[in-house]
Amino acid sequence: MEHPQPTRVYVVSDSVGETGESVVRAAAMQFHPVPVEIVRAPFIHDFEGIDKVINGIRTHGGIVVFTLVIPELRDDLITKAIQYNIPYIDLLGPVVTTLGKALRQEPRRQPGMIHPLDEDYFKKVEAVEFAVKYDDGRDFSGIQKADIILLGVSRTSKTPLSMYLAHKRLKVANVPLVPEMQPPAAIYTVPKDKIIGLRIDPDKLNVIRQERLRTLGLAENATYANVERIKIELDFADKIMSKIGCVIFDVSNRAVEETASLIMDHIEHI
Would you say 154 is a known binding-site residue? yes
Would you say 158 is a known binding-site residue? yes
Would you say 152 is a known binding-site residue? yes
Which three-class secondary structure string do you get for the chain?
CCCCCCEEEEEEECCCCHHHHHHHHHHHHHHCCCCEEEEEECCCCCHHHHHHHHHHHHHHCCEEEEECCCHHHHHHHHHHHHHCCCCEEECCHHHHHHHHHHHCCCCCCCCCCCCCCCHHHHHHHHHHHHHHHCHHHCCHHHHCCCCEEEEECCCCCHHHHHHHHHCCCCCEEEEECECCECCCHHHHCCCHHHEEEEECCHHHHHHHHHHHHHHCCCCCCCHHHCHHHHHHHHHHHHHHHHHHCCEEEECCCCCHHHHHHHHHHHHHCC
Would you say 153 is a known binding-site residue? yes
Binding residues for ADP: 152-159
Binding residues: 152-159
